[in-house]
């Protein structure tokens, strides 16, 4: 009797023991998880959140790629290779746009003879246009590259390209068309520059974490940069990122003053950028957020502004050219800059005037310039942080 009782007690004890052990383990696990969450939260606190905003094709993703190249591991061979299909797709799509465009101009334009293609060019054009409308593009080979080059060099296509602003021709066109031979090589691996030129319309949100100083982590701030799509339908998603933003990097492609939107060909891109910047500035979340305005695509701007007067854009109607050459470019740039400055101060309520606003002249493809610009951005954000800490 006693023995059985003792045995039972023993059983009970051991059972209890087992339970408490399991409990303890669970508790320890929970504590560990809590500790890690806490740790992560602390780590997150030090990370500054940066947003890349701007209308479609303003160069947000190019800046993003530059950051990856400059302050992160860059692109390994696999990643570079993954851009082959993108670059080839860019070429096929562009040549299709140009070919279809020349047909359209030949039909509807007053001076239509300029755009009429010879019959042999038409044969090539039809073939490439068919490829361009496929879902899967073939890899670019010598033969196709030769045909594309023939088409590209044709005067009617060149005339059409000169009116590219009416056709949604991507900015990378000239660069890729001039490098067709290299791009069609069987062993072709894209260079950094090719990757920067490659056009991918972003959808959704992509992020990257970096520190501008690189190796010396102690002195550098840690940033998390978010890249988003810029077309109208993509903008509804931005709102999910608006909380706790240190700085908005707003990209404005200043070369696009004579182009219309990809998603709405009735709307001038510059006017859209103006309205978008205004909308972003007025967001309640950005009361204390710094604004870094990148007046991007300066390389295209300086070539264009001498040929196409700035006042074709409704927003710049009151622009008067003063001289020629370099001076004129500077004058036009300063005019655009002033317009954006005015807009900033118009759209910023008096209680927000203490937020940081800086304008930079950029060419997202220029690695040195982007590096320098980001050093400046980093510096002004750090100064801002010190200033805030001093106040508190």
Partner 1 sequence: MFLPLILLPWVAGAAVIHEKKPLNYRCHFGTYWTIPVVCLHSLYVAVLMGFTRAIRHIEFRFHELRDLWQGILGSASLIGVWVFAYILNEIHDDISWLQVASRFMLLLTASILVLVFFSISIAQPLLSQISLRKREPLELKTMGQVLGIPESGLLLQREQAVDIDPNEPLDKLLLNKRFRQSFMAFADSCLAGESVHFFDEVHELGKIPIDDPVRRIYMARHIINKYIIAGAAMEVNISHRIRQEILATTDLTHPDLFTNALHELTQLMKMNLAKDYWSSMYFIKFKEEARMRSCEHEMEEMRGYDFSPRLSSVNATDDPFHQDHFSRGFTQHSHASYLR
Q: State in angstroms the smallest separation of the CB of 278 from partner 1.
A: 12
312 binds partner 1, rule: CB under 8 A: no
Let me know if 7 is a catalytic residue: no
70 binds partner 1, rule: CB under 8 A: no
Of residues 6, 37, 123, 239, which one binds partner 1 by CB under 8 A?
Answer: 239
136 binds partner 1, rule: CB under 8 A: yes
Q: State in angstroms the smallest separation of the CB of 64 from partner 1.
A: 10
In the complex with partner 1, which residue's Cβ is closer, 284 or 325?
284
Of residues 48, 102, 184, 202, which one binds partner 1 by CB under 8 A?
Answer: 202
Q: State in angstroms the smallest separation of the CB of 140 from partner 1.
A: 16
Backbone φ, ψ for residue 203 (5° rounding): -130, 145
Of residues 147, 159, 234, 378, which one binds partner 1 by CB under 8 A?
Answer: 234
199 known member of a binding site: yes
> Exactly one of 231, 283, 348, 367 is catalytic; which is it?
231
Q: Which two tokens stand for residue 31?
A: 């504590």
Answer for the pair 130, 144: CB distance below 8 angstroms, yes or no: no
* Helical H segments across the chain, by residue range: 2-46, 60-71, 77-108, 119-132, 142-153, 155-162, 173-178, 180-183, 192-197, 232-235, 269-281, 298-304, 325-347, 367-391
Residue from 92, 87, 94 nearest 191 by CA: 87
Residue pointed to by tokens 């006042």: 311
Let me know if 100 is a catalytic residue: no
Residue pointed to by tokens 């933003």: 245
235 binds partner 1, rule: CB under 8 A: yes
Site residues for partner 1, 244-303, by CB under 8 A, read 260-265, 279, 283-285
237 binds partner 1, rule: CB under 8 A: yes
* 47-53, strands of its sheet edge to edge: 205-210, 222-228, 47-53, 247-253, 290-296, 357-361
Alpha-carbon span 276 to 282, nearest angstrom: 10
In the complex with partner 1, which residue's Cβ is closer, 75 or 319?
75
Q: Which long-range contacts (CB under 8 A, 24 or more apart) does 135-140 make?
A: 137/85, 137/88, 137/89, 137/92, 139/84, 139/85, 139/88, 140/88, 140/91, 140/180, 140/183, 140/184
57 known member of a binding site: yes
349 binds partner 1, rule: CB under 8 A: no
Let me know if 354 is a catalytic residue: no
**Binding residue numbers for Mg(2+):** 61, 202
Q: Which residues bind partner 1 (CB under 8 A)?
A: 44, 82, 85-86, 89, 133, 135-136, 168, 200-208, 224, 229, 231-237, 239-241, 260-265, 279, 283-285
**Binding residue numbers:** 57-62, 171, 196-202, 227-231, 296-299, 364
């Amino acid at each position: 009797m006693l023995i059985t009782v003792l045995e039972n007690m023993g059983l009970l004890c051991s059972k209890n023991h087992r339970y408490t052990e399991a409990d303890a383990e669970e508790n320890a696990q929970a504590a560990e998880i809590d500790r890690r969450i806490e740790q992560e939260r602390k780590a997150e606190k030090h990370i500054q959140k940066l947003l890349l905003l701007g209308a479609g094709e303003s160069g947000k993703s190019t800046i993003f790629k530059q950051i990856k190249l400059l302050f992160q591991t860059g692109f390994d061979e696999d990643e570079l290779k993954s851009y082959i299909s993108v670059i080839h797709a860019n070429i096929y799509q562009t040549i299709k746009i140009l070919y279809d465009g020349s047909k359209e101009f030949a039909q509807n334009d007053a001076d239509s003879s300029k755009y009429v293609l010879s019959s042999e060019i038409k044969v090539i054009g039809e073939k490439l246009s068919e490829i361009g409308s496929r879902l899967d593009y073939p890899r670019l080979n010598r033969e196709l590259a030769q045909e594309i080059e023939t088409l590209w060099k044709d005067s009617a296509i060149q005339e059409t390209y000169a009116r590219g602003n009416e056709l949604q021709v991507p900015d990378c066109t000239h660069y890729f068309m001039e490098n067709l031979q290299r791009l069609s090589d069987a062993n072709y691996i894209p260079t950094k520059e090719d990757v920067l030129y490659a056009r991918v319309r972003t959808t959704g949100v992509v992020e990257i974490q970096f520190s501008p100083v690189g190796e010396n982590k102690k002195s550098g701030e840690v940033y998390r940069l978010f890249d988003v799509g810029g077309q109208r339908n993509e903008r509804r998603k931005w709102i999910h990122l608006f909380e706790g933003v240190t700085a908005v990097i707003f990209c404005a492609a200043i070369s696009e003053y004579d182009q219309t939107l990809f998603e709405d060909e009735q709307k001038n891109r510059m006017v859209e950028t103006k309205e978008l910047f205004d909308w972003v500035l007025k967001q309640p979340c950005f009361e204390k957020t710094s604004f870094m305005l990148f007046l991007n695509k300066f390389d295209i701007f300086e070539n264009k502004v001498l040929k196409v007067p700035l006042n074709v854009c409704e927003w710049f109607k009151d622009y008067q050219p003063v001289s020629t050459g370099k001076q004129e470019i500077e004058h036009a740039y300063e005019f655009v800059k002033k317009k954006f400055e005015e807009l900033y101060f118009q759209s910023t309520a008096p209680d927000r005037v203490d937020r940081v606003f800086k304008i930079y002249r950029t060419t997202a493809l220029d690695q040195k310039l982007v590096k320098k610009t980001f050093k400046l951005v980093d510096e002004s954000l750090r100064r801002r942080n010190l200033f805030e800490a001093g106040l508190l």
